[in-house]
Structure 1
Amino acid sequence: MLKLERIQYRCLRIALGCMQSTHTMSLEVIAGILPLKERLFELAFRFLIRSEIANPMLIANYEKCLEVVQKPCMSVYQRFMSMEINPSVVAPSREISTSLNNSSVVFDLTMKQEIHGIPDHLKPTVVPSIFSAKFGHLPKQNSFFTDGSVMDGHSGYGVFNTDHRISRKLAQPCSIYVAELAAIHNSLRIIELKTPDNYFIFSDSLSSIEALRSIKPVKHPSYFLPEIRRILEVLVDRSFIICFVWVPSHCSIPGNEEADLLAKRGAIDGDIFDRPITYTEYFHLPRQLALENWQEKWNKDDLGRWMHSISPKVSTKAWFKGLDLTRDFIRVISRLMSNHYVANAHLYRINLVDSNLCECGGYEDIDHIVFVCPKYHRARAKLIDSLRKQEVTFTMQVRDVLASRNPALKHESSLLFERHDPPNLDFDFKEIRNHHPQRIVVRISI
C-alpha cells in the first residue's frame, strides 16, 4: 500500500506542478482525488453490494469466515453487514434498445437555446411567456408535467395533468434521478390507458431525457429505464406519438411548479410506490462512507492546515474542474493553496535559504508580494486597475481570494504573475544544488 501511495503522490505533484515539500493530503484535496485506501474501500464495498444479489454464495462464505476470523482484513465486510443493504434485483443490462421509431418518440430540448443568456433573477418573469409561446397551444389533457424530489432523506415524485394529480413516495435508497424516471414511468402508464394521439411529457430533468434518448450504454441503469423503453415500444406499435420536452426548473412554469409541489408532498407523506431496487442504487453508499472517512482524516491531520483553512470540506471535484484555465495558472494557484511556493517564507521553512525576509526587508510571503513589496508595483497597478474596471475592491488577504468560489477573482489576481512582469525570484543555483544535489531548481514565477 505504501508503494502504491508514493506513486500516487508523485503523480499528483507532477500533474498539479506542486513542490516536493507539499503535504500529501493537501495534494489529494486540491486535485479532488480520494486517498488510495478510501478508493480501495469504496471498490471493495461495491463488490460486496454487487455480490449480495449476483453471487450470494460469496456472501455466505464471508459469513462463515467471520465466525472464525476476527482480523482487520474483514473490516470492510463487517461494515457492510452493519448496514441495511437489501437489493431485490440484478441491475438491468447497460445496453439500450434502439428499435424505437424516431418519428414516434420525439425529444425537444429547444428551451435550452431559448433561455440561454437570460440572468437567473429574470427567468421567473421571462421564461413563462417563452414557454407559453412555444407550447401554450397544446391540448392540456395531453400534457403531463413530471418532477422528482428528495427531502430530509425521503424521495418522491409528482405527475400533474388537468385530469391527474399524483404524488408518491419511493423506498430508499433513491436518487433524484431515479425519482424523475419514476415520474415519467407513471405518466406513460396513464397514457397507456388513453386512445392513440400526440402526448407531451414535460420534465426538468435533463439527465433523464438524455438517458432515454441515448443509444449508448447507460452507466447505472435503474429499474425504470428499461420499463420506460418497453412501454414506449408498446405505445409506438399502437400509433401513439410521445414527445419528451425539457423545461427549466423553478422558473414559474405553472405545470412544472404543480409537479414540483406534488413531488415534495409525495416525499413527505405519499403512498409508497413498490419497486424492485437494483444493487446499483446502493452504489452511492460506498462513496458517501469513503468521503466521510476522508473528511475525518482531513479534519484531524496536523499538517496542511493552511489548505484546510481554504478548503475545509473535501470533494472529488477539483477546484479547476470545468474552468478554461492554462496549466501555468493551475500550477500557480495550486502552489498558493498548498502554501508551498518559491518565496523566502517557504524556502526558509525547508532550509533552502538562510532568511525568510525579502530584499526590501519585509517577511516575504504571498501577501507581502501582492500588497506590499515595491518590486512589483507595475504588476500590482495593472491588477488593481483591472479589478477596478470590474467594480471589485481587492483588499482581502490572498488566502481569502484562494478560498473564494469565484473563479473570476482568482483569474484576475493571476495578472500579478504574468510572464512579462513576474516576481523576480531568482536564487543561486549552485548554492541550492550543494545543499540538495538531487533537487534541480530553475527560475520560476511563484
Structure 2
Amino acid sequence: MFTYAAGVWGEATKFYCVRKALKAFQRQFAIRAIRAFRTVSAAAAIALAQFVPLHLAVDEAREIQMVKNTGTLQDIPSDITLRKKVPVNQQLHPAERVSIDFSEASTQEEIAQLTKEYPIKMYTDGSKLDGGEVGCAAVIYLPDSKTTKLKRKLGRTSSVFVAELTAIETGLHWIVNSKWRHNIAVASDSMSALKALQDRSNPDPTVASIHSALRDLKQNHIEVSFTWVKAHCGIEGNETADLAAKQAAVQRTATALNEFPISYAKYAIRKRTLAKWQDEYAAETANSEIRKWFNNIEEIGEFKKRVGTSFEYTQIITGHGFHKSYLHRFKILDNPVCPCDDSSIQDITHLTRHCPVFGKIRHEHEMTCRNLKIDPYNLLALTTKEQPIETFTILVNEIIRRLKKLNNT
C-alpha cells in the first residue's frame, strides 16, 4: 500500500518527518514478527525482521517507475535503453499467430526419434558468463550435411532468458531468408523460453519477432516443431550450441542487443537499496546490541534463513529481555547485579559467557565448538554446522527459561 503511486509522491521521503512516520508505523509489525519486547528500537526491530525500511522501499518503487518512464537507468550508458513491450497494435493479428507445443528429450536417442522426419535440425542456446559477458548461438544442421553456426554477442545487461530467445530468433530468421524450404526441428534447453513462445499474446519484442518468423514459415508451408532438451547430458547438437554461445559471449565484436530488461533494473535498484540499508544499519546507534552479533544486514538474513526466529533468540540478540541489566534500566528492579556472585552485572554477555549457573551447558557448547574449531559465540559460524547451533540453542533456551526463577521475580 505504501509504495502505491510512489513515482508521484516518492520524493517526500527526503523529509525527516516522513521517514520518521514510516519507521514508526513499520516498527509495530517488525516487533510482532520477531516476537520482541516493545521497547526494542525501530531500527533494530526492522533489521532483525529483515523488512526493507519503508522509506527505502518507497524510493525503490519510485526509481523503478522512473526507469519505466524514461527508458534509462542510472550508472549505465544512456544509449542502453529499456527493453519495452510491443504495443498491442503492433503485434500480429490474432488470426496470424501460430500456436506451438513442445516435446521433451533427455537423451540423444530420444531427440533423434523426435526429429527424424525434419530435414533441418536447429539447436539453440544462450549463455551468461561469470564475468557478465552474454552470448547466444544457433547451430543449424542442413539437408546437404553442412552445418551453419550463427553467433551473436549481447550486451552485459541482457539476461540468459533474452539470450535463449535471441538464439531461436536468429536461427528462424536466417532460415526465412535462406533458400531452404524444409520442415524444421528446433531444440532448446530453456523451458522458460519455450513457455514464453506458447503465449500467443506475449508482448516481449523477441517473442513477437519469433512469432512473425513462424507466421512467414507457415505461409511457405514449412512446419516447425519445438523440443526441450535436457542440458549437459551428452546431446551433441545442444553441447555444440552451448560451446558456440560461450564463444559468442567473449568474441571481440559489437554487441547485437543494447537493451536491459526491467528485471535487470529491479536487480540493480534493489542492490543500491540494500547498500543504503547497510549504511543506515552501521550508523544507527540503536543497533549497537545487534551489531555485537551481526556485522551487516546480510548476516542477519543468513542466520534467519538457517535458524529462524524465536522469542529466546530475540532477547539474546536485541538485549531486551528478562535479565536484570534491562529490568534495572527501565526501573523495574533496583539493581542490575546477578545473584550468582552478587557483583557481576547481569547482561547478555555475562549470561551467555560467564554466569556459573549455566556453566555445565555452556561447557558442553564450548567443547563442541572447540572440537570443530568454531568460535562458540559467532552466530553465523555456528549455523554452518548442525551440532554447535543445537548446543547454543539449548544454552539460550535454558537461560531464558530459568531467568525469572534465578532473579526471584
Using structure 2 for the length normalisation, give the TM-score.
0.66
| In structure 2, distance between residues paired with 1:17 and 1:84 | 47
Match of 1:149 among 128, 132, 137: 128
* AA aligned opposite 1:7: F
Residues 225 and 35 of structure 1: is their aligned pair in 2 closer, same or farther, counting only changes over 3 Å? farther
Q: Does 1:105 align with 2:92?
A: no
> Residues 168-247 of structure 1: matches in 2 within 5 Å?
168-190=152-174, 195-203=182-190, 207-209=192-194, 211-212=196-197, 222-231=204-213, 238-247=222-231
Q: Which of 365, 381, 392 lines up with 2:348 in the alignment?
A: 365
Bigger radius of gyration:
2
Other-structure match for 2:38? 20
Alignment-derived partner of residue 250 in structure 2:
268
Provide the residue aligned with 2:58 in structure 1.
40
Query: What letter is aligned with 1:91?
Result: K
Query: In 2 relative to 1, CA 318–166 (structure 1 residues): closer, same or farther, beyond 3 Å?
Result: farther
- Alignment match, 1:412: 390
Aligned residues of 2:352 and 2:396 also touching (Cα < 8 A): no
Distance (Å, rounded) in 1 between the aligned partners of 2:85 and 2:290: 40
- Give the AA of the match of 1:423: R
Q: Is the alpha carbon distance of 1:81 and 1:134 closer, same or farther for their aligned partners in structure 2, counting shifts above 3 Å? A: closer
Greater RCO, 1 or 2 (C-alpha within 8 Å, sep 6+): 1
Looking at structure 1, the residues matched to 292 and 148 of structure 2 have their Cα atoms a distance apart, in angstroms, of 51
Distance 1:422 1:404, change over 3 A: closer
Letter aligned with residue 189 of structure 2: F
Instruction: After TM superposition, give the deviation of residue 282 of structure 1 in Å.
Output: 3.5
Q: Structure 2: how far apart are the matches of 1:337 and 1:258? A: 53
Structure 1 gap ranges (5+):
55-78, 112-130, 432-446
Find the counterpart in structure 2 of residue 424 from structure 1: 402
1:91 is aligned to 2:85: yes
Distance 1:88 1:384, change over 3 A: closer
Question: 2:41, 2:360 → 1: CA distance?
Answer: 32
* Larger CA deviation: 7-16 vs 333-342: 333-342
- Cα gap change, 1:19 to 1:51, in 2 (>3 Å): same
Query: Which residue of 2 is the match for residue 434 of structure 1?
Result: none
Structure 1 ranges of 4+ moved more than 6 A: 136-141, 251-254, 320-323, 378-381, 417-422, 427-431
- Amino acid across the alignment from 1:106: F
> In 1, Cα distance between the equivalents of 2:339 and 2:235?
60
Counterpart Cα distance in 1 of 2:288 and 2:243: 44
2:266 matches 1:288: no
For the residues of structure 2 that align with 1:36 and 1:169, how far apart are their CA atoms? 39
Equivalent residue, structure 1, for 2:336: 355
Q: For the Cα contact (< 8 Å) 1:346–1:365, is it kept in 2?
A: no
Contact map agreement 2:64 2:266 (CA 8 A) in 1:
yes
Letter in 2 for 1:182: T
Alignment TM-score, normalising by the size of structure 1: 0.61
Question: What is the distance in 2 between the residues matched to 1:372 and 1:159?
Answer: 68
- Cα deviations by residue, 1:72-99 (Å, 9 ceiling, x for unpaired): xxxxxxx96997376366434699x997
Name the SS of the counterpart of 1:200 in structure 2: strand
CA distance 1:146–1:299, shift in 2 (3 Å):
same
The aligned residue for residue 287 of structure 2 is 304
Unmatched tracts of structure 2, length 5 or more: 1-17, 142-146
* Structure 2 residue aligned with 1:59: none
